Amino acid sequence: MPRGESRSMGMTARTLGATCLPGPPPPREESAAAIRRVVQAFAEAWYWGEAPGMLRCLHPDYVNRLISLGDEARPLGVQGALGAQTPPDRRTLEVRILELRSGSASAVAEVAGWVIHLHLARSSGRWKIVNAMWETQP
């Protein structure tokens, strides 16, 4: 596809703001701590190969493509199956919050062998992952 062109992904778009609570946002420090907790919960579930734990961290508007590994479909893609294969002594997590607004945030998480670029949104007062883009570490 040439640069500058876009193509439809076949997804139904919803408004993220519709699920956010009205009113003043929580203090910045409280939001940053909550974002770190949800990213940590997501990474821990990934390391244990616990898809339900990963899914609990996702925003209702999160959409991911089903990718098949052999005969088994995985709702979190190929990456969702790889955490449990990481030896316990290599299970690390580093989280950097890049931007934090009242209802949205972006962060980067580094886990063993992967960098995860995350977008998060407040949903019913809690931070949830809206988008995750995985990249292998060099």
- Kindly state the helix (H) or strand (E) to which residue 31 belongs, with its residue range: helix 28-48
Answer whether residue 13 is part of any domain.
no
Answer whether residue 50 is part of any domain.
yes
Label the pairing between strands 114-123 and 67-69: unpaired
Give residue 69's pLDDT band: very low, low, confident or very high (50, 70, 90).
Answer: very low
Answer whether residue 18 is part of any domain.
no
Answer whether residue 33 is part of any domain.
yes
> What is the rounded CA–CA span in Å between residue 11 and residue 127?
22
Answer whether residue 19 is part of any domain.
no
Answer whether residue 32 is part of any domain.
yes
Residue 50 belongs to domain with CATH number: 3.10.450.50
Answer whether residue 4 is part of any domain.
no
Query: Which residue range forms the structural domain that includes residue 113?
Result: 26-136
Answer whether residue 109 is part of any domain.
yes
| 92-102 burial code (b ≥16 CB/10 A, e <16) | ebebebeebee
Widest pairwise Cα distance in the chain: 48
> What is the rounded CA–CA span in Å between residue 48 and residue 81?
9
How much of the chain is helix, strand and coil, in % rounded to 5? 30, 30, 40
* CB neighbour list of residue 12: distance below 8 Å, 6 or more residues apart: none
pLDDT in tens, 78-117: 566 678 878 888 898 999 999 999 899 999 999 988 888 8
pTM value?
A: 0.71
Is the pLDDT reported for residue 25 higher than 80?
no
How many folded domains does the chain comprise?
A: 1
